[in-house]
Amino acid sequence: MKKINIGITINIEKPTESFFTNGLKQNAITFLETFLKCKNVENAYFVNLGPQKDLSQSPWKAYEKHIVNFNEAVEKLDLVVTVAVTFTNEMLEILHKKGVRIAKHVLGSEYHFFVESILFGKNPGTSFKRRNHHSAVWLSPHIYQTGKDLFEVVCRCPAYSAPFVWSPKFLEHDVEIIKKTAGISGIYEPKEVAKKVSVFEPNLNVIKTSLTPIITGEKFYLKSPELVKKISIFCANEIKNNSTLIDFVTDLEVQKNKKIFFEKRYGIVWSLFTHTDIVLSHQRDLALNYLYFDAAWLGFPVVHNAHFVKELGYYYEDFDAEQAANLLVDVAKNFDATKDEYLVKSREYISKFLPDHHRNIEGYEILIENATM
């Protein structure tokens, strides 16, 4: 098997920027760890397309030996995977002339962002103009159905489903900090009989919103009010003053009894350990989410409708708020007695998504081979 040098695009903008401000940075690091384990990879690099070159104060300093600039990438690499940032057309031409292959790795629900940009004038964050000289498009499995044909048209090359890879290293970084400052164990611990339910959907588009969880919360409260300490709707800055939502929520019993709260966005680890006993989630067309893994890895029960990970946490179908509410009742009553078993089972299941799992390594070996043929 021929071994190649592979690159992953990143964008280092500031001298001291954090890995925790942008999930794509974490994605890039996780991919590097995965690629380095592939049998057909000699070495893996980050291609920094950002303006920051001095890494002395940057967390990227730890990866300095793996970071190259564009000119070095042109001479050194056989394949570049665009992850955190894409190339200009001029860069694509230079890479093409040098024989460097390009694969586009799509991690977000770009189809929906594209539709919203057409209908509502939103900035899609991605250009959908024709992209030349790509050998392949790799899509996370949960966006393959909506993205395959779109990106085959945009990039004029085959699109493939790529392994979804997650690592606990970034999560555990924050856990270690809060363990020292708050004196916690670092995993879920039972508290009161009445439970704190948290919803973390970003409420930026129709893909992940809090509406179904709010409906579920009302049903949960009507079934077992004694089990509800509070329901926190995080990431609600943009919606909590919306008159349509206010009209809806005002008439809910969970609101009349002051059990539902709309909060801004906070870090997931702090939110879990200070405000959460149960995570409630809902999505459409995006049935893989780091949130489920983050929470379940730390032992928090997750009630969700993500069919790609039915075996993780507590699964309900589609928009079935009644089923979700019944699960909340069950979890509130019975979870604490099974928390240790749940933690072991969750970590065992999530291990299939880690960078060193053979399924992910072999999957990327095939993708790399196809992209460089």
User: What are the pLDDT digits (tens) for 153-168?
Assistant: 999 999 999 999 999 9
Residues 6+ apart with CB under 8 A from 185: 179
The CATH number of whichever domain residue 26 belongs to comes to: 3.40.50
Residues 6+ apart with CB under 8 A from 2: 40, 372
Band of residue 20 on the pLDDT scale cut at 50, 70, 90: confident
Residues 146 and 274 placed together within one structural domain of the fold: no
CA distance linking residue 200 with residue 221, whole number of Å = 19
The CATH number of whichever domain residue 281 belongs to comes to: 3.40.50.2000
pLDDT digits (tens, 9 = 90+) for 49-74: 999 999 999 999 999 999 999 999 99
Mean pLDDT, to the nearest integer, of 139-150? 96
The predicted model scores a pTM of 0.94
Residues 233 and 345 placed together within one structural domain of the fold: yes
The token duo for 297 is: 């890895």
Handedness of CA 151, 82, 143, 110 (dihedral sign): negative
pLDDT digits (tens, 9 = 90+) for 99-116: 999 999 999 899 999 999
pLDDT of residue 124 exceeding 80: no
CA distance linking residue 261 with residue 213, whole number of Å = 13
DSSP class of residue 304? E
Find the domain containing 192 and state its range.
169-353
Residues 62 and 191 placed together within one structural domain of the fold: no
Q: What pLDDT sits at residue 74?
A: 97
pLDDT of residue 323 exceeding 80: yes
Residues 190 and 142 placed together within one structural domain of the fold: no
Residues 175 and 248 placed together within one structural domain of the fold: yes
Residues 366 and 344 placed together within one structural domain of the fold: no
Q: By the 8 A CB rule, do 36 and 73 touch?
A: no
Average pLDDT, the chain: 95
Tell me how many domains the chain contains.
2
Residues 269 and 297 placed together within one structural domain of the fold: yes
Residues 338 and 286 placed together within one structural domain of the fold: yes
Residues 248 and 103 placed together within one structural domain of the fold: no
How far apart, in Å, do the first and last CA atoms of the chain sit? 12
Ordered alpha helix ranges (H), the chain = 23-35, 70-76, 89-97, 110-120, 144-155, 169-182, 211-223, 243-250, 253-256, 268-275, 290-297, 321-334, 339-350, 358-371
Residues 71 and 148 placed together within one structural domain of the fold: yes
pLDDT of residue 21 exceeding 90: no
CA distance linking residue 282 with residue 324, whole number of Å = 10
The token duo for 92 is: 């694509």
Q: What pLDDT sits at residue 127?
A: 77
Q: What pLDDT sits at residue 51?
A: 93
Q: Residues in the chain, how many?
A: 373
Residues 157 and 174 placed together within one structural domain of the fold: no
Residues 161 and 195 placed together within one structural domain of the fold: no
